[in-house]
């Protein structure tokens, strides 16, 4: 029988005593996981593919079975990464690029603003999956 006066300690996100959190990752593990994300591989095993097609992610890893999506809205972080990266590249291009006429500048930079996020979509999603794994969301 438990003591009614003693309250159990709540398991908080920053405490390493939950079932899915480790006390500490091995040295350099985060580099390995982020590299796996950039290679579009499973952050846990590094062998399974993240994507089934260009825009559709697999629900789980083919090799280790780990699930990638955990909750609705989880992928907003990857959109933030993609938006920030696009904004930095376009601002640097406009600021340090060649001096074109207004028509040419609008054509080039508006096209780049549409094409660049499409090209970097998978990589930002892979990096975000790695970040989610490092914070305990992919297990």
Asked if residue 23 belongs to a domain, the reply is no
Number of domains in the chain: 1
| 16 pLDDT higher than 70 | no
| 45, 65, 84, 105 from 108: Cα distances, Å | 40, 43, 19, 5
pLDDT higher for 76 or 6?
76
Q: What is the pLDDT of residues 28-60, one digit of tens each?
A: 888 899 999 999 999 888 899 999 999 999 988
Cβ atoms 82, 124 nearer than 8 A: yes
| Alpha carbons 26 and 89: distance in angstroms, whole number | 34
Report the predicted TM-score, pTM, of the whole model to 2 decimal places. 0.75
| 118 pLDDT higher than 80 | yes
Asked if residue 45 belongs to a domain, the reply is yes
Asked if residue 8 belongs to a domain, the reply is no
Asked if residue 20 belongs to a domain, the reply is no
Q: What is the pLDDT of residues 55-76, one digit of tens each?
A: 999 988 888 888 887 777 888 9
């Amino acid at each position: 029988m438990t003591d009614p006066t003693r309250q159990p300690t709540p398991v908080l996100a920053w405490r390493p005593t939950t079932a899915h959190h480790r006390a500490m990752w091995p040295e350099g593990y985060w580099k390995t996981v982020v590299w796996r994300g950039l290679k579009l591989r499973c952050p846990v095993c590094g062998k399974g593919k993240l994507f089934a097609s260009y825009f559709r992610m697999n629900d789980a890893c083919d090799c280790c079975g780990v699930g990638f999506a955990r909750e609705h809205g989880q992928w907003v972080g990857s959109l933030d990464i993609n938006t920030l990266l696009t904004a930095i590249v376009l601002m640097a291009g406009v600021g340090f690029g060649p001096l074109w006429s207004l028509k040419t500048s609008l054509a080039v930079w508006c096209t780049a603003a549409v094409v660049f996020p499409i090209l970097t979509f998978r990589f930002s999603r892979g990096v975000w999956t790695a970040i989610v794994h490092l914070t305990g969301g992919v297990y």
